[in-house]
Structure 1
Amino acid sequence: MADADPVSESLAAARPLSPHLSIYKPLFTMMMSIVHRITGAALYAGALLLALYLLGLALGPSAFGAVSWIVDSLIGRLFVLLFSWALFHHLLGGVRHAIWDRGLYLDSDGRELLAKVSLGGGLALTALLWIASSLFG
């Protein structure tokens, strides 16, 4: 292996380290990015439970009775509520990123606006879904 160049070693030692997250002031768009990643991971867990629920439905009444707690219990209903919110929030976060990929709303005010719209839109769509479900379901 070649010997290290002393000049490049001194330059590397003088280079600043990447700042830690504790140095940054938390911004709304930063928090929304973190929530977008969390909802993406939560959708994997929700999709697995949805697949389990549908598998129980396909296997017959005894299997369905075993997995019907997913929507019948209070915890199950809460999980389905959070899953539906995660789905809408993650969807609108993807739309927000697609808008940014087009080069739109990249200024500070535009980023804040899209982050607020995606948060409010996810909550509003979830509320509309549950209201429609209770009225028509």
Structure 2
Amino acid sequence: MYNINRPISPHLTIYNAQKSSLFSIWHRISGVAMFILVSSPILLLKLSTFSYENYNTWGFIRDNFVFSFVLPWFYAIISVIFLYHIINGIRHFLWDSVLNVNTKAIRKDSNILLIVVFLVVFLKFIL
């Protein structure tokens, strides 16, 4: 009478994610990342003790080649996260005021969002 092996909802492999749903998920993830990136230096300063050994360790890390190579890339990734979150937040404010809510405008806005974020970050590091 009842098929016990029948799935309750479609499996995730046959689900096609929409751009707006992916951007919503990434907006939440970028918000969590921003919270961690803002709060972690404060916690690290509180946990660190200001002693001569820590100062020498920081000097070694700062003068190291890997640190000078990794820091600009880390800065670029942080810039992308912050810009994406801010521009997508503006997009959500526009949706709340019932602007650009139709399907074509949402697709256009999402493409513009990606182009603006990567263009600003690219120009920031070139100039």
Separation in structure 1 between the aligned mates of residue 12 and residue 19 of structure 2, nearest angstrom: 14
Q: Once superposed, what is the RMSD of the aligned Cα atoms?
A: 3.2
Distance change >3 Å, CA 104–CA 75, structure 1 → 2: same
How far is 1:72 from its partner? 3.5
Distance change >3 Å, CA 127–CA 50, structure 1 → 2: farther
> Larger RCO: Structure 1 or Structure 2 (Cα < 8 Å, ≥ 6 residues apart)?
2
Give the equivalent residue in structure 1 for 2:59: 65
Separation in structure 2 between the aligned mates of residue 49 and residue 81 of structure 1, nearest angstrom: 18
- CA deviations 1:25-72 (Å, max 9, x no partner) are 2112222112212211211222235547888xxx7x938637747x94
Separation in structure 1 between the aligned mates of residue 125 and residue 22 of structure 2, nearest angstrom: 26
TM-score by length of 2: 0.67
Does the Cα contact within 8 Å between 1:29 and 1:111 map onto a contact in 2? Answer: yes
Letter in 2 for 1:104: L
| Ranges of 4+ aligned residues in structure 1 off by more than 6 Å | 17-20, 52-55
Separation in structure 1 between the aligned mates of residue 14 and residue 81 of structure 2, nearest angstrom: 29
Letter in 1 for 2:27: H
Point out where structure 1 has 5 or more consecutive residues left out of the alignment: 1-16, 133-137
- CA deviations 1:70-120 (Å, max 9, x no partner) are x94433332211001101011100010011011011110011111111111
Separation in structure 2 between the aligned mates of residue 96 and residue 42 of structure 1, nearest angstrom: 19
Point out where structure 2 has 5 or more consecutive residues left out of the alignment: 1-7
Identity level (%): 27
Separation in structure 1 between the aligned mates of residue 61 and residue 31 of structure 2, nearest angstrom: 24
Letter in 2 for 1:94: G
TM-score by length of 1: 0.63
Separation in structure 1 between the aligned mates of residue 44 and residue 61 of structure 2, nearest angstrom: 6
Distance change >3 Å, CA 80–CA 48, structure 1 → 2: farther
Query: Are positions 1:40 and 2:31 aligned together?
Result: yes
